Amino acid sequence: MERIIETVLEIGLEKPVKILHVTDVHLVDSAPDDDPEQQEHMIKRKEVFAKEANYPPKTQNEYFEEAFRIAEEENAVMMVSGDVMDVYCKGNVREFHRIADGHDYMFTPGSHEFALFARSPKGDDPAEYNRAYWERRKQVEGLFPELKFNFESRVVGGVNIVAIDNSRDFYSAEAFEFLKKEVEKGLPIVLFSHDPLGDHGLLRVREPHPLVRQSDETYAVNDAMIEFIGKCPLIIATFGGHWHGEAERIAPNGAKMFVTPGLFKGICRMIEIR
Ligand SMILES: [Fe+2]
Ligand SMILES: [Fe+2]
């Protein structure tokens, strides 16, 4: 690993709890699906990420392997917050399985898990776009039956570690219900989602693209959940990825917000709660 950001949260625990936060792996595999066009796309994407990471000495696949080793050595809970696969294709599914299978980790997806190649036509009908999205999402979920794509939680050493999907730039009504039930447990919570709480997509700073725009009711629930997160005293910090860069500040809703850089840069975050 090129760098491990160290984040300490003091809440008065007797024994510290460690979480290794890893995000935006962006696995790119140029192994062909007998499709030269896909292969060409993958080679281009490899270069995009290498350049963005300033040509690090290892590949994202190697950093992903190393992160699992570090989490196990440090007795930390491994949290993977999405964009593991740059696109959904056979080669990336195979690499994701090869590296992660057999390890214990928590997960919440990014949008790239369900993305096809850049050249794939997206159409202009939101209903058709949505149908195609859910078709792909069900396929990906079926290939990783051990992962909980919508939400999951785990209580470790008196801390409730919660992961909730917001990868389509909103929190769903089911997600909000889940979070409220987690809060009822009465334990301190660290919340992980792909989009950070200050993300412009999540906050709809700009009008969403017509293909992905949701109903006003859906956005009202999302906004209420974001407000709830900001006001909930049990939520001690929130963590996200998606920006590929590092940030630490108070989000517009008042929540403490940490953004962890993409693992393809050889960077991850060790959180110690004590
Ligand atoms: Fe990403
Ligand atoms: Fe992302």
Q: Which run of H or E residues covers position 142?
A: helix 126-143
Which ligand sits closest to the CA of 86? 1
3-state helix, strand, coil in the chain (%, to 5): 35, 20, 45
The CATH number given to whatever domain includes residue 226 is: 3.30.750.180
Q: Residue 199 C-alpha to ligand 1 middle, in angstroms?
A: 13
- Nearest ligand, CA 194: 2
Is the Cβ–Cβ distance between 193 and 108 less than 8 Å?
yes
Structure-token pair, residue 138: 């069900």
Residue spans of the chain under pLDDT 70: 32-33, 118-120
CA 76–ligand 2 middle distance (angstroms) = 24
Provide the residues around ligand 1 (an ion) whose CB is within 5 A. Answer: 24, 83
Q: State the pLDDT at residue 269.
A: 98
CA of 266 to the centre of ligand 2 (A): 17
CA of 49 to the centre of ligand 2 (A): 13
Q: Does an H or E element contain 136, and which?
A: helix 126-143
Number of domains forming the structure of the chain: 1
Scanning the structure block, which residue is given the tokens 């992905």? 212
Separation of CA 184 and ligand 1 centre (Å):
32
Q: Find the 11 Cα to ligand 2 centroid distance in Å.
A: 30
Query: Quick one: pLDDT at residue 202?
Result: 97
Q: Where do the DSSP E strands lie in the chain?
A: 3-9, 17-22, 77-80, 106-107, 151-156, 159-164, 189-192, 235-240, 247-250, 256-259, 267-273
Q: How far is the CA of 110 from the centre of ligand 1 (A)?
A: 7
Q: Would you state the pLDDT for residue 38?
A: 81
- Ligand with the closest atom to the CA of 84: 1
Ligand 2 is a single-atom ion; what residues have CB below 5 A from it?
A: 83, 110, 242
Residue 37 confidence (pLDDT): 80
Distance 80 CA to ligand 1 centre (A): 12
CA of 49 to the centre of ligand 1 (A): 10
Separation of CA 166 and ligand 1 centre (Å): 13
Q: What is the pLDDT of residues 18-69, one digit of tens each?
A: 999 999 999 998 776 677 888 888 889 999 999 999 999 999 999 999 999 9
Distance 100 CA to ligand 2 centre (A): 20
Cα 118 to Cα 112, 143, 206: the distances in Å are 11, 22, 23
Q: How far is the CA of 161 from the centre of ligand 1 (A)?
A: 22
What pLDDT does residue 35 have? Answer: 78
- Residue range of the domain that includes 129: 3-273
**How much is the pLDDT for 119?**
63
